[in-house]
A and B are shown apart, each in its own frame.
Chain A
């Protein structure tokens, strides 16, 4: 029996929740904190969310969602358009490979995996930016970004776990 359009719409909207949560968190972390110095400590929320949702619900959070997240990151930074898009899509690529083995991993293992995935992707982003600007960029920035993002991972991941249990509890929702 074919699903009614209401059911299809419900499933469609449910599948957009991870992207909506990611956008909401990104907006929240873009709010002015009135300090240039503190900007270095701003965590890369998009990175955490993309990693989490690709690992846990890869079938609803794929390359297109990562593309949208990267586009928003590019517009809300002065980095060239496309750099964050490429970085976010690389996370999807790397996480998709690891998801085969780590989808049901414990929270701690997921965090450990994020430490590796985050480091690889931020390092690649750093390389892309240096290639683009053809100049040396201070490695401290990547380390600050990496450390704060790693520290923020539990908070953002727990929020995502709550959203996942509340709205997307099943392994697959009537695709």
Chain B
């Protein structure tokens, strides 16, 4: 009687082994990806670009109905508040007229002083607008996806809502850009207290109120002080408003952002005429400033 040839390993067993091996391999890839993210590798940027470009058009389709619903809600909300808004605006207008006269006088005075001192003003910033098409899909992070590609914007540029800074460009693909909001833990922006010119770094902490860090303990900072960009490092123009000091407790300074994210449909991206490479200069400056403190 002939004996049947029994294979050493069954095909089904081999499949199980391969499946387990691939799982181990995927775990290793995940760990490697985290490590590469830490060093901000070019490969990671490329992965972001590819995924954003593939999934971006889907997000644009999904965004449309949400935007329509939001517009309808805003329309009725605005109508219900039309009288009180009108009263507020009238009062504000009176104050603005007084301020306008003061500004004109100061402008003339400023021009005269600039001429006297041979002062070279910084480059004029230009703006470009972009539409928000997605928000963060994660509770641990605060980001936006906007419809604008690398032809117009680059990493590090500052992003504004209606009147104040809301974040900076983190990643750019062919047609989409990822914006890190000032509240995100990755966000670090050099700022200054408008009233006292005390410098610091506005550091996001994933809450609604980012912290003002690297300020002297004896610095003159009060609740309600306006926080603006300092322009240190050269990536951001100076004097752009971000928020105001909302509380000072045990040396921790919390800043409330001015921008009303719930009303922002389009963002403005500020181009200060500097390239992304200058970000290194900015981080170096920030580091040296921190060391000095």
Contacts and interface: CB of A to CB of B under 8 A. Distances in A.
Contacts of A70: 30
B143 A77 contact: yes
Interface in B244-268: 261-265
Given A35-B261, A77-B140, A132 B34 contact: yes
A15 interface: no
A34 to B, nearest CB: 5
Interface stretch (B44-52, B118-126, B218-226): B44-52
Contacts of B22: 63-64
Contacts of B48: 75, 81
A107 interface: no
Q: For chain A, what secondary structure do more than half of its interface residues adopt (helix, strand, loop), or is it mixed?
A: helix
A34 B261 contact: yes
Interface string A136-148: 0110011011001
B30 A76 contact: no
A79 B141 contact: yes
A142 B206 CA distance: 11
A30 B62 contact: yes
Nearest to A145: B139
Given A33-B135, A73-B137, A141 B206 contact: yes
A27 interface: yes
B26 interface: yes
A77 B34 contact: no
Interface residues of A, number: 55
Among A34, A40, A141, which residue has the most Cβ atoms of chain B within 10 A? A34
A106 interface: no
Contacts of B206: 137-138, 141
Given A32-B132, A36-B181, A76-B137, 5 more contacts: A31-B134, A32-B63, A32-B135, A78-B178, A81-B33
Interface of B: 19, 22-23, 26-27, 29-38, 44, 47-48, 51-52, 55, 58-59, 62-63, 65-67, 70, 132-145, 170, 178, 180-181, 183-186, 205-208, 261-265
Q: Which 10 A-B pairs have the closest CB atoms?
A: A82-B33, A77-B138, A82-B34, A80-B37, A145-B139, A76-B137, A78-B141, A31-B66, A78-B143, A77-B141
